[in-house]
A and B are shown apart, each in its own frame.
Chain A
Amino acid sequence: MKQLIQQVRELGRITGAPLLVRGVVFVAACAGLLLAAPAGLSSRALLGFVALAALPAVAPGGVSVIVVMLAVVGMWLADTMLFLAQPSLGRLLGTAAALYLLHSGAALAAVLPYDAIVDHQVLMRWGTRALLVLAATGVLTLLLVNVLPGLYITTPTVALVVGLAVVAAVVALLTRLGRRP
């Protein structure tokens, strides 16, 4: 009981900047879940999404972030493969942006103490970098849409193997970058 009272008392110490970042995480998680969800879901399911989206905002350093991200990806796959939905480019870009903002916002919120006094330059710089990444994604999307025949490509076996090798190389590179001293 004492601990609970202490925790409630400490909630009053929360400052604006961490609250704002956690708000961004919540909105991004909500948007990602709602954009990726198949159409025609009940209001109860939507309420469940909102509750699920609150978890990364409350605990940005926990596993709930990756759970929500995988839920977004899973629902996107289910909608496009099971319900055979044809997503628009806007919905696709929106989901990608929400997924990224959820990840990036949670990464920032996890390192910002909830009661910290934050220099506004930190948030400005973070926002600028996020916008740059999203802009680069937009350009890449336009290139892919224009160069490739469509969103669904029937690949021959050779192309599949080459593609998997490229993916493995990308993942290995990212992992190595992360571990390099």
Chain B
Amino acid sequence: MSQPGEGDLEPVASTDTGDNWAPTRALGRAVLVAGLLLVAAVLLGRTDLVILAAPLALSVAFALSKRPRSLPGLRLSTVESFPVEGGDLGATVEVENRDTVGYDLTVVHLQHSPWLRLEGGADPNAPRRGPRGGNRPYVTFVPRGVATAVELAGPATRWGRHWLGPASAHAVAADGLLVSRAVVTGALGVKVYPLTDPFKADEAMPRAAGLVGQHRSRRPGEGGELAGVRQFAPGDRLRRVDWRVSLRTERLHVAATLSDRDAEVVVLLDLLADAGRSEGVGGNASVLDRTVRAAAAIAEHYLHRGDRVSVLEYGASARRLRPASGRRQYLTVLEWLLDAHPSPTAQERGGAQLAAGISAAALVVVLTPLLDARSAAMLAGLSRSGRFVVAVDTLPTDLASPTVNSWTDLSYRLWRAERDNTMGQLAEHGVPVVAWAGAGSLDAVLRDVARLAAAPKAVRT
């Protein structure tokens, strides 16, 4: 699959052979009925039968006087690249008539991922009546020597790597008497990045834990050292606005500073199990959805502040993204998250093994639904190894268990109680567990972690 992008067109296999067009059943029907009527007219000496046969014979003769020869050309392209879930994506299917005869119609099918809600038609400006989209075929008129574009647009409702295509088309000519062979394009890959939940952690990063050395860093971020003045951008704090420059230039400018911290944030994704039903953006979210969106939000927040962020996977594939900072790292994190899938495994590394690859000064944010006992053990192991761990509970609050029998409700409540118990035990081990709630989720626990960082550990191995 090729990558999406403007002008990313798939070549079309089109040959000019005699087998390109086939007669339909309508042709045989018209010739048979017209022939029978004309024979009967001659045998019986009846003019009325000639008149009955006349429109059929005339239409066949008129339609077949000019026959198409070559196949229609077909191209599939995407308009927008790098959409975020919920954002609009555009796709164009272009049908080209390279023949000397116009097609009566061309039927275009475009297959795509169910997470892409593409709708449209031959004329996007036409008023919309009736049902639209939903993987429907599109029928368009293609005159000779002209290319007609079927514009499709709609939101991508879930993050991930989606497929767009293949598109197929077949043309109909000669009043429906001839139909062409289908032409098919390849498929395009569409990357849809996760929508970052609004996240802020204004209160405190465990700075005491994250600080290394006394030197100012050279990275832009929150700090006291002036790096320059630049234009205001979304996410900038109002207190950073440089009013003098803003008044002079009539545009908002902020004083950019260098980061005076060198904290590392490790976002650990627990992918041992998934739960819940994903309904895309705006609907119910599964554990994986919440995990990915939360990871994107946390990474965006800390990278914007100039910290180094790395991402780890706790699952079968055990992927790891090296720590780095800056905008490029944010894009890399988003790309990395697209390949996050639930990957249950029988043997998983413990917390101590994981901790070996994590800097001792790093803040470890573990996104876990705590569905697997090994997740809790891993959290405890990380904490025992002296890492500053914050667990973010990604289990959806509205998760309902399917009722199997009368014991279902009771067993579900027991399981919830056991899970709460585990969370309590983790808290005793110095691992605060906080439910993911977007902005301000981590403020309270970060304050606690910062306090813990200054104090001796409660439990040591």
Also in contact, A80 and B58, with CB within 8 A (given A15-B130, A119-B140, A122-B104): no
With an 8 A cutoff between CB atoms, is A82 at the interface? no
With an 8 A cutoff between CB atoms, is B30 at the interface? yes
With an 8 A cutoff between CB atoms, is B105 at the interface? yes
Contact: A167 with B35, CB < 8 Å? yes
Contact: A103 with B56, CB < 8 Å? yes
**Complex: chain A residue closest to B130, CB-CB:** A16
> How far apart are the CA atoms of A154 and B47 in the complex, in Å?
11
B55 CB to nearest A CB, Å = 4
Within 8 A of B (CB), among A69-106: 69-70, 73, 76-77, 80-81, 87, 92-93, 95-97, 99-100, 103-104, 106
Also in contact, A103 and B29, with CB within 8 A (given A122-B141, A141-B54): yes
Within 8 A of A (CB), among B145-188: 172, 175-177, 179
A44 CB to nearest B CB, Å = 27
With an 8 A cutoff between CB atoms, is B239 at the interface? no
Contact: A100 with B130, CB < 8 Å? no
With an 8 A cutoff between CB atoms, is B306 at the interface? no
CB 8 Å contact bits of B124-148 with A (1 = contact, 0 = none): 0010011110101111110000000
CB 8 Å contact bits of B19-57 with A (1 = contact, 0 = none): 100011111111111111111111111111111101111
Also in contact, A144 and B51, with CB within 8 A (given A133-B59, A178-B177): yes
Contact: B34 with A174, CB < 8 Å? yes
> How far apart are the CA atoms of A140 and B62 in the complex, in Å?
15
Contact: A174 with B52, CB < 8 Å? no
Select one of A87, A112, A117, A167 contacting B42, CB under 8 A: A167
Contact: B141 with A121, CB < 8 Å? yes
A24 CB to nearest B CB, Å = 13
A131 CB to nearest B CB, Å = 11
With an 8 A cutoff between CB atoms, is B453 at the interface? no
**Complex: chain A residue closest to B128, CB-CB:** A117
Also in contact, A117 and B35, with CB within 8 A (given A111-B105, A140-B51): no
Q: Determine chain B's interface SS by DSSP, over half rule.
A: helix
Also in contact, A171 and B52, with CB within 8 A (given A108-B176, A115-B136): no
B284 CB to nearest A CB, Å = 23
Task: Please give the number of chain B residues whose Cβ is less than 8 angstroms from any Cβ of chain A in the complex.
Answer: 67
With an 8 A cutoff between CB atoms, is A9 at the interface? no
**Complex: chain A residue closest to B121, CB-CB:** A117
Contact: B29 with A65, CB < 8 Å? yes
Select one of B19, B42, B122, B176 contacting A111, CB under 8 A: B176
With an 8 A cutoff between CB atoms, is B123 at the interface? yes
> How far apart are the CA atoms of A172 and B448 in the complex, in Å?
93
CB contacts (< 8 Å) of A153 on chain B: these are 45-47
**Complex: chain B residue closest to A76, CB-CB:** B52
With an 8 A cutoff between CB atoms, is B229 at the interface? no
Contact: A133 with B64, CB < 8 Å? no
Contact: A178 with B31, CB < 8 Å? yes
CB contacts (< 8 Å) of A70 on chain B: these are 33, 36
With an 8 A cutoff between CB atoms, is B60 at the interface? yes
Contact: A155 with B45, CB < 8 Å? yes
16 further A-B pairs in the complex, CB-CB below 8 A; given A103-B29, A106-B26, A140-B58: A92-B52, A96-B54, A110-B24, A112-B105, A117-B137, A119-B122, A133-B62, A137-B58, A144-B51, A150-B47, A151-B47, A153-B45, A163-B42, A178-B177, A180-B64, A181-B18
* 21 intermolecular pairs with C-beta atoms under 8 Å apart: A15-B136, A73-B37, A81-B44, A95-B52, A96-B54, A99-B55, A100-B55, A103-B30, A107-B26, A122-B104, A133-B55, A134-B55, A137-B55, A167-B39, A170-B35, A170-B38, A171-B35, A175-B31, A178-B28, A179-B23, A181-B18
